[in-house]
Amino acid sequence: MTKAVVLHTPGGPENLSWEDWDLPPPAAGEARVRQTFAGLNYVDTYLRSGRYPLATLPVVLGREAAGVVETLGDGVDTVRVGDRVAYSSHLGGYAEANNVPADRLVPLPDDVGDELAAAMMLKGMTAQFLVRQTRPLGPGDTLLYHAAAGGVGLIACQWAKHLGATVIGTVGSADKAERAKAHGCDHVINYNEEDFLERVMALTGGVGVDFVCDAVGRTTIEKSMQALAHHGVLASYGAASGQVAPETWAKMPPERFLVKTTLPGYTKTREQLLAAANDLFAVVRSGAVRIEINQRYALKEAAQAHADLEGRKTTGSTIFVI
Amino acid sequence: MTKAIRLHAFGGPEVLVYEDVDVPAPGPGEVRLDQTAAGVNYLDIYHRTGNHFANLVPPATPGVEAVGIVGAVGAGVTNVKPGDKAAYPLTAGGYAAARLVPASALMRVPDGIDDRDLAASYMKGLTVGHMLNDLTTFAPGDFILWHAAAGGVGLIACQWAKHLGLTVIGTVSSDEKAARAKAAGCDHVILYSKENFADRVREITDGKLCQAVYDGVGADTWLDSLKCVRAYGVCASFGLASGPLPPLGFADIPAEGFVTRASVAAVVRDRPTYEKGAATFFDVLKKGIITPHIEHALPLAEAAEAHRLLESRKTTGSLVLLP
């Protein structure tokens, strides 16, 4: 028996309850991880509220956690008992322990602490594939990043800047504008105060940008398309403001690329997973990208953490201390 | 006084009339080209019929590409001089013995390239070069899918892709066209009337799918084409022969695949890009890597017959008109 934050029915934050959870022994190919820290992500609130469907209920939410391998199922040779590991591929983060397919566990280097790993395994890996794989950025490139002060945004913008790109970020408030500026953004646009497309075109001399990262969706995607330079890439990897209407996708201007990206799509093999993780560890180790953990909660405070995230009271990464 | 085909109203092939026309002296930035061969493209039929894809307004001369000798240049023209052999793509007015062309559309043609071969392949070759060289990167043996592999563009694509070391899957409408595509280097030919091409692509590639999918067909094929591209590959629409692209649900967009619309217009619009694209194509043409399949070379006066042949859909390869 272990303790976990369990969701029995989708709904408000109050539906998250701290209770005993019967975790079976790890199946073949799985490892039991005794968890020390878990990350909080926006996607967790979508699953909790029912906006994204859940395959099974009751369920333990949380897709980002770190800890120590405690026991192994049959046939596991990628990790050993006692290894410090982290993952971002499976639900079950909001718990004292979780069973995870062993080939999805990333061994942590000595200088990457559990808390840091839990804060960046999903957000940092997402930033990694965006700026290093989907459209590898370098000097001379221009990036438009929507929600630049969000968890992924703060990491992606610092990284893009480090790679030599010019970074334009959009945010929804003056506070967030300051935060984005302090994390790699050369230019910040408050989309509540000005038209981001007009501003982007003015900033780029009418040329547009090489890369747009858009996880906002319905409210931004059409102007994101128009903000692209010749052979620019629009990455759609979320829809915080709602799904995009089918006729909108057809409005992509010619000679621009649309790509729908997900972290699983860039970590299909263990080699890809480890390469991306090591790339992330290296850039964080170098100091070029700082992971800011600005809120810490106990697991039993999960409801409050969700309410704060949805109430836009949090900044940077939020961590559950287990 | 010179000769040209004139279109006075939209209609069938019979509206293409062979007439005397005047070619004035070239103005600033213009060139008089004495044409030796003009290409015939499906776009010309849209221009003739007033199809919604086209924007030619009668009275006008159809035809969008040709090769010739520079007869005179207007003020400020530096890229060609009288006596040069030159060619242009995507500039209406091509069915003529002589005409004025903006110098920006003209490219000097290196020695060793046949006029008819170039007229039959210039726009198609620039298109194929853009598709294969500018949209993604390949590893040897990567699969590509090219629709209408036995058409004028398709046959050039098969030859060029083969030269790049790619494995080419092509779709065609008949056994006869399948043989033509195979002869041009197409490794796997799919008869789309008999089998679902997306299923076949999955089989042929053993589930790996294609690094690049090139779709000039549009409405009838686009949603299935999107199923044929692998993660990190590209699916490019470069023509709408069967109608406009349908609306796209989020689920229709291939995961981690790049979706784009591309055309030769983007190459020609920017001079450095055009020069690079033209040089690349001239090179493969001169080396014989690409052999344009000229199926019919007709006198300019027989433009109407050229259109009948093209519309019959029986042609494979290209048609040219000779002033």
CATH number at residue B54: 3.90.180.10
Chain A touched by B219 (CB under 8 Å): no
pLDDT digits (tens, 9 = 90+) for A207-231: 999 999 999 999 999 999 999 999 9
Phi, psi of B173 (to 5 degrees): -105, -10
CATH number at residue B163: 3.40.50.720
Q: Which residues of chain B does A232 touch, with a Cβ-Cβ cutoff of 8 Å?
A: none
Amino acid at A22: D
CA distances to A30, A78, A85, A87 from A106, in Å: 13, 9, 5, 6
* Nearest-CB residue to A265 (from B231, B245, B266): B231
Angle between helices B271-286 and B115-134 (to 10 degrees): 120
Give the span between the Cα atoms of B29 and A163, in whole angstroms. Answer: 43
Position B131 in a domain: no
Q: Kindly list the residues from chain A whose CB atom is less than 8 angstroms away from the CB atom of residue B266.
A: 230, 254-255
- Distance between CA atoms of residues B93 and B98, nearest Å: 10
Question: Is residue B251 within 8 angstroms of chain A, CB to CB?
Answer: no
Q: Count Cα atoms within 13 angstroms, Cβ side, for B142.
A: 21
- Which residues are CB-neighbours of B209 under 8 A, at least 6 positions away? B143, B201, B202, B228, B229, B230, B233
Same domain, B183 and B238: yes
Give the minimum alpha-carbon distance from B99 to chain A in angstroms, rounded to a whole number: 30
| pLDDT band, residue B51 (cuts 50/70/90) | confident
Q: How far is B209 from chain A (nearest CA, A)?
A: 15
Domains of chain A in sequence order: 2-121+292-321 (3.90.180.10), 124-264 (3.40.50.720)
Angstrom distance (rounded) from CA B165 to CA B190: 20
B205 and B283: one domain? no
- CA–CA separation, B95 and B243 (whole Å): 26
B242 lies in some domain = yes
* Contact call for B262 and A254, based on CB within 8 A: yes
Whether residues B255 and B276 fall in one domain: no
Task: Give which of A145, A319, A160 is closest to A235, Cα–Cα.
Answer: A145
Question: Are the beta carbons of A259 and B259 separated by less than 8 Å?
Answer: yes
Final residue of a domain: which of B261, B282, B297? B261
- From the list A249, A259, A266, which residue is nearest B248 (CB)? A249
B241 and B276 belong to one structural domain: no
Q: Which residue has the higher pLDDT, A249 or B299?
A: B299
Question: How high is the pLDDT of residue B52?
Answer: 67
Domain boundary (B261, B288, B309) is at B261
Domain-embedded: residue B127: no
User: Do residue B175 and residue B67 come from a single domain?
Assistant: no
Name the nearest CA neighbour of A265 among A96, A87, A75, A133. Answer: A133
Span B35-55, average pLDDT: 88
Q: Decide if B256 and A230 are in contact by the 8 Å CB cutoff.
A: no
Give residue B55's pLDDT. 79
Distance CA A75, CA A28 (A): 6
Residue B151: which region, alpha, beta or left (left: phi > 0; alpha: psi -120 to 50)? beta
CB-based contact A233 B254, cutoff 8 Å: no
Same domain, B285 and B191: no
Name every chain B residue with its beta carbon within 8 A of the beta carbon of A257. Answer: 234, 258-260
Say yes or no: B60 and B103 in one domain. yes
Contact B253 A233 (CB under 8 A): no
Average pLDDT over residues B243-248: 90
- Name, in order, each residue with C-beta under 8 angstroms of A173's C-beta and a sequence gap of 6 or more: A190, A192
- State the virtual CA torsion across A216, A217, A221, A224 in degrees, nearest 10: 20
Could you tell me how many CB contacts below 8 A there are between chain A and chain B? 66
Across the interface, whether the CB atoms of B266 and A233 are under 8 A apart is answered: no
For A207, phi then psi, to 5°, come to -80, -35
> How would you class B52 by CB atoms within 10 Å of its CB: exposed for 0-12, middle for 13-18, buried for 19 or more?
exposed
**Strand positions, DSSP E, chain A:** 2-7, 16-21, 30-40, 59-60, 65-72, 84-87, 97-101, 106-107, 142-145, 166-171, 187-190, 209-214, 228-236, 257-260, 293-298, 317-321
SS3 A102: helix
Q: Is residue B105 part of a domain?
A: yes
* Cβ pair B258:A233 closer than 8 A: yes
CA dist A211 to A256, B127, B253, Å?
A: 10, 25, 18
Full residue range of the structural domain in which residue B224 is found: 136-261
Interface of B with A in 114-173 (CB under 8 A): 134
- Evaluate whether residue B130 is within a structural domain: no
Q: Tell me which amino acid residue B83 is.
A: G
Dist CA A183 CA A163 (whole Å): 13
Q: Which residues of A touch B263 (CB under 8 A)?
A: 254-255
Of A246, A255, A266, the CB nearest to B247: A246
Distance between CA atoms of A205 and A9, rounded to whole angstroms?
51
Pairing status of strand B30-40 against strand B318-322? antiparallel
- B220, part of any domain: yes
Choosing from B215, B240, B261, the residue where a domain stops is B261
Chain A residue with CA closest to B257: the answer is: A259
Q: How many domains does chain B have?
A: 2
Which among B247, B258, B261 has the least Cβ separation from residue A259? Answer: B258
Do B265 and B238 contact (CB within 8 A), yes or no?
A: no
Which residue stretches of chain A have pLDDT < 70?
A: none
Min CA distance, B22 vs chain A (Å)? 37
CB-based contact, A246 to chain B, within 8 Å: yes
Same structural domain, B77 and B158? no
Interface probe with A: pick from B213, B245, B259, B273, most Cβ of A within 10 Å:
B259
Contact residues, chain B, for A262 at CB < 8 Å? 255-256
Yes or no, beta carbons of B134 and A231 under 8 Å apart: yes
For residue A238, give the chain B residue with the closest CA: B250
Residue B266, chain A, CB below 8 Å: the answer is yes
Q: Looking at the structure, do residues B71 and B144 belong to the same domain, yes or no? A: no
Question: Is the Cβ pair A256, B253 closer than 8 Å?
Answer: no
- Taking the C-alpha atoms of residue B310 and residue B120, their distance in angstroms, rounded to an integer, is 13
B193 with B244, same domain: the answer is yes
How does DSSP assign B123-170, residue by residue? HHHHHHHHHHHHS----TT-EEEESSTTSHHHHHHHHHHHHTTPEEEE
- B53, B144: one domain: no
CA distance B115 to B85: 9
User: Per residue in B170-208, pLDDT tens?
Assistant: 999 999 999 999 999 999 999 998 999 999 999 999 999
Q: Is residue B29 part of a domain?
A: yes
Domain match, B9 and B116 both: yes
What is the three-class DSSP state of B20?
strand
As a three-state string, the secondary structure of A266-319 is: HCCCHHHHHHHHHHHHHHHHCCCCCCCEEEEEEHHHHHHHHHHHHCCCCCCEEE
Q: pLDDT tens across B115-138, in order? A: 999 999 999 999 999 999 999 999
% pLDDT > 70, chain B: 99
Using the Cβ of B249 and the Cβ atoms of chain A, whether some distance falls under 8 Å is answered with yes
Least CA distance to A265: which residue of chain B? B256
Quick one: pLDDT at residue B53?
A: 66
Residue B128 lies in a domain: no
Q: Which of A128, A87, A85 is nearest to A108 (CA)?
A: A85
Is the CB of residue A89 less than 8 Å from the CB of residue A267? yes
B197/B203 Cα distance (integer angstroms)? 10
Q: What is the nearest CA distance from A231 to chain B, expressed in angstroms?
A: 8
